[in-house]
């Protein structure tokens, strides 16, 4: 793993804790990337550093971008020797950040100038481990298409408080580019769980260690485009891909979480409940039976909408199912 460090501008701490911006890149769109870097450089918070992990050794990011657009704080570029994916890139960045707080960053969004300032104000109490915010939505041309991500992802329910772990296991409401977490808490999440996106896993660990605080403002302009790594039903197009990602994939995730979180006794009952439900859903998909259907209905607390669809999946024509998936992706269902 190679690294390059550049020093630009003066750091004026003003007694503020250091925030490490952790940016993972992979062959970024140059226009969008420049817009992102400018938005980082214009942050009103005055004690920042930037760590960049370039996950594409075959087509490395142009370092001139950083020399030109990151002038208000230090930056360090780490060049991966092989592509490992965003989870591993963010894991490596989490290991090396210097700050008391970590602010995770994608390569194609735009941060509002006061993003870090406002979010850092949420850490007034020592028991707050993570602060997250809402996001607005922009298209490929930077035009705003929604004032809140909840307009297109209708199942997101933001929450503040303690003991939010079970809910985060079921449905994540923390978006990586719109969160700041205490670095000592983020490091507890290492190694990251392969079956979860880094933001979901870090949020779970943060919830286990204190309070999550939600800021009800869209502090990131989240760019939606065809290359987004995450999204509503990403990679799901038909019954087989639905089974792969929404049933078999989630079941494997809970099995891995049961092993990783075996020291948290209060979560084991919840995880076992979900494994039982998902196992019955898997068996019903592969071979529908009244026995499995009864089990699905009995263990339906967390999956009511999905189970309603899956109950009728064996008799729903393939083209109708594809249409339902399309409506869900665009936020109609």
DSSP 105-153: E-SS-EE-TTHHHHHHGGG-STTEEEEEEEEEEE-TTS-EEESSGGGT-
Specify the pLDDT at position 35.
97
**In terms of DSSP H, where are the helices of the chain?**
30-41, 64-69, 86-96, 115-120, 165-170, 183-188, 198-208, 239-242, 249-260, 265-286, 290-298, 304-311, 318-329
Place of tokens 């199912």: 321
With b for 16 or more beta-carbon neighbours within 10 A and e for fewer, the 38-72 pattern comes to ebbbebebbbbbbbbbbbbeeebbeeebbeebbeb
pLDDT on residue 308: 86
The first and second tokens of residue 209, run together, are 């260690």
- pLDDT band at 231, cuts 50/70/90? low
| pLDDT at 232 > cutoff 80 | no
Q: What is the pLDDT of residue 10?
A: 36
What is the Cβ-side half-sphere exposure of residue 21, based on CA atoms within 13 angstroms? Answer: 30
CB 293 within 8 A of CB 278: no
pLDDT in tens, 110-165: 999 999 999 999 999 999 999 999 999 999 999 999 999 999 888 899 999 999 99
pLDDT value, residue 302? 84
| Model confidence, pTM | 0.90
Q: In the predicted model, what is the mean pLDDT of the chain?
A: 91
Structure confidence at residue 235 (pLDDT): 81
Taking only the tens place, the pLDDT of each residue in 155-206 is 899 999 999 999 999 999 999 999 999 999 999 999 999 999 999 999 999 9
Cα 291 to Cα 239, 296, 308, 309, distances in angstroms: 22, 9, 16, 18
Which residue would you say has higher pLDDT here, 16 or 81?
Answer: 16
Q: Are 127 and 210 in contact (CB under 8 A)?
A: yes
Give the bridge partners for 222, in sequence order.
137
Distance CA 186, CA 19 (A): 13
For residues 307-327, give the mean pLDDT.
Answer: 87
Using the CB atoms, write b or e for 282-304: b if 16+ within 10 Å: bbbbeeeeeebbebbeebbebbe
What the chain holds in terms of domains, given with CATH numbers, is 2-223 (3.90.550.10), 239-329 (no CATH)
């Amino acid at each position: 793993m190679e690294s390059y460090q550049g020093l630009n501008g003066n750091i004026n701490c003003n007694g503020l804790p250091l925030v490490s911006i952790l940016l993972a890149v992979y062959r970024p769109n140059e226009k969008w990337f420049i817009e992102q870097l400018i938005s980082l450089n214009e942050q009103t918070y005055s004690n920042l550093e930037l760590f960049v992990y370039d996950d594409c050794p075959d087509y490395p990011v142009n370092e001139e971008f950083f020399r030109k657009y990151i002038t208000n704080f230090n930056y360090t570029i780490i060049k991966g020797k092989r592509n490992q994916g965003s989870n591993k890139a963010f894991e490596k960045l989490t290991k090396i950040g210097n700050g008391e707080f970590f602010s995770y960053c994608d390569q194609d969004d735009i941060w509002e100038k006061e993003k870090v300032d406002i979010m850092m104000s949420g850490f007034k109490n020592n028991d707050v481990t993570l602060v997250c915010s809402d996001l607005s939505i922009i298209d490929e041309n930077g035009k705003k298409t929604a004032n809140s991500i909840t307009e297109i992802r209708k199942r997101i329910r933001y929450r503040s408080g303690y003991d939010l772990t079970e809910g985060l296991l079921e449905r994540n409401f923390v978006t990586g580019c719109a969160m700041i977490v205490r670095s000592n808490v983020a490091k507890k999440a290492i190694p990251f769980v392969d079956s979860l996106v880094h933001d979901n896993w870090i949020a779970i660990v943060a919830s286990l260690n204190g309070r999550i605080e939600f800021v009800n403002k869209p502090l990131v302009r989240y760019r939606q485009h065809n290359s987004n790594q995450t999204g509503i039903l990403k990679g799901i197009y038909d019954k087989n891909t639905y089974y792969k990602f929404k049933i078999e994939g989630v079941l494997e995730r809970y099995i891995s979480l049961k092993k990783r979180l075996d020291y948290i006794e209060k979560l084991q009952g919840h995880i076992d409940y979900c494994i039982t439900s998902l196992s019955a859903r898997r068996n019903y998909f592969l071979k529908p039976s009244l026995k499995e259907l009864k089990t699905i209905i009995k263990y339906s607390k967390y999956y009511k909408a999905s189970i309603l669809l899956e109950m009728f999946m064996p008799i729903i024509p393939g083209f109708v199912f594809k249409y339902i998936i399309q409506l869900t992706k665009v936020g109609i269902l």
